[in-house]
Structure 1
């Protein structure tokens, strides 16, 4: 442990002159990063009121992790009103989403510190956390070692290990094992994730399987599908909305090729493509046009639009979940190409019948459970995708039945937040 910390900081010292030399050029190319960098170095940290019970510091890397953290932040504010909640994110997009989603439930939203020893020490001193909670990922040696040295327990929640991550952890086990051992407890999403951690050499005493925080979403009336959609034309009764979430290069071609025939047979079908990287939105508009479609950007539509083209490209952050609420069919991207897939729980929560391809390795346990509950379809290729979608378009009762099964699967795991709160209380 000691040697790893020394080696890590020695490498930082050796590389520092080069990084300082390159920094002005980076900031000239990305002027918007200047303020963000200053904050990540500890400048202008916001003031917030410390409650007598102490401070809980929650960290989420970016957009996906912020979404996962929402039920936890909401529950902590409700159950532990005497504590100060500080929430950090690493990326600018994550911070923007956190300000909108997490802001009402926490006392401050701050940038995550750069993992430079003096910077990390400054953050820990100013925040003075009683507990540090990391959501899913973003492991940094100096922060974890300093938290441990300061006597601050670190807790991982919603932990998961993809096949790709597992290969990296095994290859660089001398680095990752001491890092993971800085946590007092690692709470994993599935038994498979817990078993993977054990194979890495983490003691079973440090591991718990608590489920996925996205299963902890509220089941109240505000989840009804009649809530207004941000783009009203997509919510018209005569529209049938297919939302393709977190798509990757190569998948959009398959989907658009299928939709060329699908839309010609069913004029009411509208497809919303949400690329995993929203900076590809312009590229996808051109791709859709190459297939003969008129396509529009989600951000450019207004409620006054008289019509919506058959393809909408989602170029905004944080709106995919809202679109799943109104979707008639959901496709989970990263699965028709070998990208490991993405989390289907958001679509399941909104009663969507779900399709995904054969490459769901990163969510294999959820995939298997959804298939076993008959709340999803696995398709092998574009032809199978088109065949299943055609069937669902023709059979609204089947759509509702499969969607209900997916939602029931989620509902049965709704005690996830209770387990997390009980665990967190053990450290306070």
Structure 2
């Protein structure tokens, strides 16, 4: 990188000056359940394992959704002889990856974006190839990879209109950083246009990897046990909820149980450490609540069953007759609806889905998902689907059609990566 813009130099200096305060930040996050205390050194770039011999690819995703979307790439790279280092920034993603990474791949927490932490991380792992998912464009990481000559590929790339406007305020910085990306593989034409306008030199529309990601798994024995426990009961799921959405789920349950006294509501908070707070809130409303971490399947008296064990959401999508996808009744941006679509679970969502605008537009337009605006509409929609199974089957067929129609991003992504793999293989000859 030549002619480093002033804004980028200031950012790098600020992050260096802020580094002494990083332990305080990490400690505060740990107290809130957002860091793994036993692995917190990884956030400072300290490795907890030796570097494996041979070629190593580094793949990074921010959290659960991003890392799940790149699982097929991870598997293909391990099949091609790479060891794959996967990093993410959340405890929940680490838990999911612990269950789902293939042999030949392992997880570390991503270092904070300070020059020293990034340098320490790269000095140890020395990746031969780096792939980052969606919008994880951290300046110090990009600069360090460029200086080391490590190819950097953006996969499943996205650039929202809001982010685009922010980047436009510092056009020289945007061009300097995006110019370091070897290839930007985007989800949509709009993402491609924004990245190209900001200075990414090689942009290709590959599609959304989430349509090709595998459906979340479920333990067969646990599934069979719970199917027996809930047999004959109306069941719905509030998945990946935030804040007030847990209260809304309890409100909906109380509205619906007048009609279905044996109704069972699953609540899966996006951040499982909040589960006990959700349980207390439900009990204050006079509802019988149970935590999944207590180890018991829901009993006949259980009304609210709180999913606080990571990596099990696929189980509850399979058990529920309808699923509300959270982060959408408040302005959080929504979460991925493709997983329940693959498991043939009817999908409801709120109006705030800007993180997945194109995906929800495709589902809604095909009749594969149903938008609601508030708690009362959510209760009404759930009631409709509980009493009209045929309507739910129509929605799941439409959603499955959308998934089939928008698939193929994985193969296009792998084709774009292939020249880099071939170059490394030639260099070994």
Alignment TM class, shorter chain as reference: 0.7 to 0.9
Counterpart for residue 142 of structure 2:
144
Structure-2 separation of matches of 1:114 and 1:416? 30
1:427 alignment counterpart: 420
| Counterpart selection for 1:382 from 371, 375, 397 | 375
The equivalences for 1:80-99 within 5 A come to: 80=80, 82-99=81-98
Indicate conservation of the 8 Å contact 1:355/1:379, yes or no.
Answer: yes
C-alpha distance after superposition, 1:375-403 (max 9, x if no partner)? 11112323322222211111112212211
Tell me, in whole angstroms, the C-alpha distance in 2 between the residues paired with 1:242 and 1:214: 24
1:294 is matched with: 288
Q: Over the residues paired in the alignment, what is the CA RMSD in angstroms?
A: 3.2
Inter-partner Cα distance in structure 1 for 2:91 and 2:369 = 34
Aligned equivalent of 1:229, options 209, 212, 223: 223
1:241-285 Cα shifts (integer Å, max 9, x gaps):
211112222333333323212122113432111222333222222
Correspondence for 2:260? 266
Q: Any conservation in 1 of the 2:234–2:260 contact (CA below 8 Å)?
A: no
Structure 1 residues 306 and 384: CA distance shift in structure 2, 3 A: closer
Q: CA deviation at 1:209?
A: 2.0
Equivalence for 1:208: 204
Q: Whole-Å Cα distance in 1 between the matches of residues 75 and 64 of structure 2?
A: 17
Query: What pairs with 1:368-407 in structure 2 (closer than 5 Å)?
Result: 368-407=361-400
Mapped pair 1:47 → 2:50: yes
Whole-Å Cα distance in 2 between the matches of residues 34 and 381 of structure 1? Answer: 38
What is the DSSP-based 3-state SS (H/G/I as helix, E as strand, rest coil) of the residue aligned with 2:258?
helix
1:248-263 counterparts in 2 under 5 A?
248-263=242-257
Aligned: 1:415 with 2:408: yes
Aligned residues: 417
Partner of residue 56, structure 1: 57
In structure 1, what is the Cα distance between the partners aligned to 2:329 and 2:28?
A: 36
- 1:50 Cα deviation after fit: 2.7
Post-superposition Cα deviations, 1:280-313, rounded to whole Å, max 9, x if no partner, equal 222222322333321111212424x643511112
Contact 1:71 / 1:214 at 8 angstroms: preserved in 2?
A: no
TM-score by length of 2: 0.85
Corresponding residue SS for 1:427: helix
Distance 1:140 1:211 in 2: 23
Q: Distance in 2 between matches of 1:147 and 1:374?
A: 44
CA distance in 2, matches of 1:312, 1:21: 36
Structure 1 residues 30 and 36 mapped into 2: Cα distance closer, same or farther (>3 Å)? farther
Specify every segment of 5 or more residues in structure 2 that has no aligned partner in the other structure, as ranges. 422-429
Q: Which residue of 1 aligns with 2:427?
A: none
Structure 1 partner of 2:334: 341
Do structure 1's residue 316 and structure 2's residue 313 form an aligned pair?
no
Alignment of 1:7-18 (within 5 A): 7-16=10-19
Q: Structure 1: give runs of 5+ residues left out of the alignment.
A: none
- The residue aligned with 1:244 is 238
SS in structure 1 at match of 2:193: helix
